[in-house]
Structure 1
Amino acid sequence: MFYRLRHVASIALVCATVLCAAALPASAAPAVTNLPPIRLGMIEGMSGPFANAGEAVERNIRFAVEQVNARGGVRLPDGRHPLALTVFDSKQGVEDALLQLRQLTDQKIPFVLEGNSSAVAGALVEAINKHNARTPNNRVLFLNYSAVDPALTNEKCSFWHFRFDANADMRMRALIEVIKGDRQAKSVYLIGQDYSFGQQVAKAARRQLEVARPDIKIVGDELHPIGKIKDFAPYIAKIRASGADTVITGNWGNDLTLLVKAAKEAGLRLKFYTFYANSLGAPAAIGDAGVGTVRAVAEWHPNVADGISNSASDAFYRSFRQRYPLPKDDYLFLRMDVMIDMLAAAIEKAQSTDAVAVARALEGARYKSAFHEASMRADDHQLIQPLYVAVMQKLADGGIRFDNEGSGYGFRTERYLAPAATAMPTTCKMQRP
């Protein structure tokens, strides 16, 4: 759900120019009929070391589904159908995810959602390619909200896969744009999780730093086991010994929280350029040490207006916080809302839940709200949208309106990149049915 404009005339103007689901004031929302729901199957790690990340995703998807249903559901020729979400626990493992995919397809659920692991996403793409070729009467579409390995929309692109997050190269470009102007950055330490995503982040950092800041020395490049390190003190000791003044990491979940917590406990004050330092316990773990030094990149954050109130963005964020009021649940991804909205609109345009018809409706689709815009590139099924690099701030110091997870710390926009500035070339050679 993007923020719904209050006036039907304004909505009609937006929806006349972009592919978006019908948005009506609550009092005018058409009633959902008793027709069967359109089912979505989320395959995600709901247990194990990254269970908190899986739970955060589920909250976001359910919030987005509820918004679609609140406005009447998805309109098909026989009437309006509600969306319904079923969650399958992959335990963050490839084999478990593939087992869950088989359960999902056995239940004839037409839409697969996943994102917290690029390794899992890559395996799902291959399995779905084979499944759809083998069973054309039970084809599924894969909607990816967070798996950012660039290969998924380049050499491993698939007609059945759509990515709604910026890939690792795109996110890294945004961070490098800030590092490029940071003349105090002289030596960088790269640290990440040892799987496809972490490896891609390190490669992207090296490649882009060489072009943007060839004067910077990379004094460390280390990958660690994903989800298995309980004490990052030995890694922080290596970073200290290297003389690094800046860390670049794609770590997420507990691997990020424990990393920055170890740096804080060691009294090592570094600049952290991260993909995900704005949530899942990281702001509280970093504390005062992160003010002005820790940065994160995202397609949106609660303080996007840089201290100047944006009523549409603020209303969107407050509606989520009203739905999930506990501080620990304060992790809102705009891209997941965009994904569900664009899917609902594509189903309505296709007048069907058939995977081929919906995929063709999504190709080239545009999204626009009062504070966000995006488009689905047909060539590789990569969503092109803005990116923000934001720096950590203390709420009590002013300049930001919202903190993260009740920590007293939030993020202020430091650099905004318009959609055109985030797009990167693709090598995808799409095979279409």
Structure 2
Amino acid sequence: MMNLPRQALTLVVLASLLLFGVADAQAAQAKAAFDPDKMADMSDFDPNKPVIPTGDTIKIAVVASFSGPAAVVGQIYFISVQWAAHDINKRGGIMVDGKRKLVEVIKANHASQPAETKKVAERMVLQEKVNVLWGTDGSHLMKIINQVADKYKVIAQSASALSDELYDTTNFSRYSFMSSFSTEQIGRAIGFYYGKIRKKEKKFYILGQDYLFGHSLADGFKKGLKEYYPEATLLGEDYHPLFMKDFAPYLQKIKASGAEVIFTGDWIPDAENLLVQARQMGIKLPFANLFLDEPNMLHRVGVDGTTGLVHVSQYGAEGGAFKTPGQIKAYKAWNTLWKTKWGPPYNTRLYEHGTGNIGSYIQQTYWLLSVIERAGSTDPEKIIKVWENDSYQLLNGKVLTMRSCDHKAIQDLHVEEYVPPAKQRESFNIPPYFWYEGTSSVGPSVAIPARYVLPKMDKSLARCKDKSEAGE
């Protein structure tokens, strides 16, 4: 890059602020970044035989479902966090509190049960002496984790629980950070996509899971339609219990409504049952979705049944997923192990690529570890000081900025259209030029700039009273 005079550089920054807004200018100046050139040799990584250090370590408890109907979610979280920890440990660990320490990942099974969540989170803090509670599948469960973190003054990272209410004036804890996208961002992104980019379908129906996340996501989508697609019509909304087996009554109602698109945030196993049963009933409507991306599920439905799915992603990329040698290197490190080393359950298609949500969970964990490294300590107060208003560039080039007043991540999102294998090279832009042969997958992807989908801010939270949504 050519060197610019200080005055010229100032003009460039000011121009960025004027043209793109504060949120986009923040994204151009990350304080830290993941560097694939510094990755260790990962050839010995095996999630079924993890190398777990002991002794004086940096301890991260992955609080999740490791049993019950959502056990696969715990598997996903564990391989993601353990991958980042293994890499950092192979590099020699992190210098904190005057010592170089390795990262220890501990499974903490809450089995999708609120009472067990409180019990296991407290055990992790009081007995295992963990430094971080990383979670989780279920915003109602993350709320409990945050309460434990607040009570015992331990850092919590919400990497996969997405409800905005977790960080409102009632539930906010200064010890918890939402490094993922959130429900209103997701809903507004889909509204923006259909109203400002696609401009075709106008009739929508919401079907969601009947708990905090499902309702919060629906509220975000309704706000997105009102804001960006006022001519659209919402024909109905229904909510079902978690871990449903029979979606027929809901699907029949949707079919009769005349809807053109079904909006859902259902996650597995509900996501799989919903999509499979819809196609078995002859309902070919597209789903605008968040978690209908699990490849084993998609292969059950096949190419025709998955073509046209519209997926909002926090780890997408327009113009091809692989733009740099470093991105290709990191991808091949994962994919080669999947092909040659890993056994069940990590040898299924779900784990083939290490991108999508898994890629996001990995990179969010690297952000956490970068913050700890730059804090130079596992002291929660020092971690908080660094993470508030921090920014971090991910492997795919995207930048996350932590809004300081309510600990939510500002970020661009992507909306992806699922297409047959022959058209997937628009996204999978290296050989073999497709993600999967037996199902549709990511093709065209469009970025939704952060300024259009800034996280919801509760202005009644005293810390945010005089702040803009960009955090200024």
With normalisation by structure 2, the TM-score equals: 0.79
- 1:173 paired with 2:204, answer no
- 1:250 paired with 2:275, answer no
What is the DSSP-based 3-state SS (H/G/I as helix, E as strand, rest coil) of the residue aligned with 1:281?
helix
Measure, in 2, the Cα distance between the counterparts of 1:235 and 1:272: 14
Displacement of 1:352 after TM fit?
Answer: 1.4
Cα deviation digits, residues 270-313 of structure 1 (max 9, x gap): 12100112226342234233454201111214x65337755443
Measure, in 2, the Cα distance between the counterparts of 1:38 and 1:408: 41
- 1:160 paired with 2:160, answer no
Displacement of 1:245 after TM fit?
Answer: 1.2
**In the alignment, what sits opposite 2:49?**
none
- 1:90 paired with 2:90, answer no
Aligned CA RMSD, in angstroms, stands at 2.7
Cα deviation digits, residues 129-178 of structure 1 (max 9, x gap): 2x23xxxxxx3100110111011233322101101111011011211121
Measure, in 2, the Cα distance between the counterparts of 1:305 and 1:47: 39
**In the alignment, what sits opposite 2:329?**
315
**In the alignment, what sits opposite 2:284?**
269
Measure, in 1, the Cα distance between the counterparts of 2:437 and 2:116: 34
What is the DSSP-based 3-state SS (H/G/I as helix, E as strand, rest coil) of the residue aligned with 2:409?
strand
Q: What is the identity, as a one-letter code, of the residue corresponding to 2:298?
A: P
Assess if the C-alpha contact under 8 Å between 1:189 and 1:221 holds in 2.
Answer: yes
Measure, in 1, the Cα distance between the counterparts of 2:393 and 2:198: 33
Q: What is the identity, as a one-letter code, of the residue corresponding to 1:415?
A: V
Measure, in 2, the Cα distance between the counterparts of 1:92 and 1:403: 35
**In the alignment, what sits opposite 1:382?**
408
With normalisation by structure 1, the TM-score equals: 0.85
**In the alignment, what sits opposite 2:72?**
52
What is the DSSP-based 3-state SS (H/G/I as helix, E as strand, rest coil) of the residue aligned with 1:116?
coil
Structure 2: 5+ residue stretches without partners: 1-28, 42-52, 340-346, 465-472
How is 1:52-131 mapped onto 2 (pairs within 5 angstroms)? Answer: 52-106=72-126, 107-129=128-150, 131=151
> Which residue of 424, 436, 449 maps to 1:418?
449
Q: How many residues align?
A: 404
Assess if the C-alpha contact under 8 Å between 1:261 and 1:286 holds in 2.
Answer: yes
Q: What is the identity, as a one-letter code, of the residue corresponding to 2:31?
A: V
- Judging changes above 3 Å, is the alpha-carbon distance between structure 1 residues 290 and 212 closer, same or farther for their aligned structure 2 residues? farther
Measure, in 2, the Cα distance between the counterparts of 1:397 and 1:283: 16
- Judging changes above 3 Å, is the alpha-carbon distance between structure 1 residues 414 and 348 closer, same or farther for their aligned structure 2 residues? closer
Cα deviation digits, residues 199-222 of structure 1 (max 9, x gap): 111222223212322332222210
Percent sequence identity is 20
- 1:142 paired with 2:163, answer no
> Which residue of 300, 306, 329 maps to 2:351?
329
- 1:19 paired with 2:32, answer yes
Measure, in 2, the Cα distance between the counterparts of 1:283 and 1:218: 27
Displacement of 1:426 after TM fit?
Answer: 1.3
> Which residue of 216, 220, 230 maps to 1:204?
220
Assess if the C-alpha contact under 8 Å between 1:250 and 1:275 holds in 2.
Answer: yes
Assess if the C-alpha contact under 8 Å between 1:284 and 1:407 holds in 2.
Answer: yes
- Judging changes above 3 Å, is the alpha-carbon distance between structure 1 residues 34 and 329 closer, same or farther for their aligned structure 2 residues? closer
- Judging changes above 3 Å, is the alpha-carbon distance between structure 1 residues 142 and 431 closer, same or farther for their aligned structure 2 residues? farther
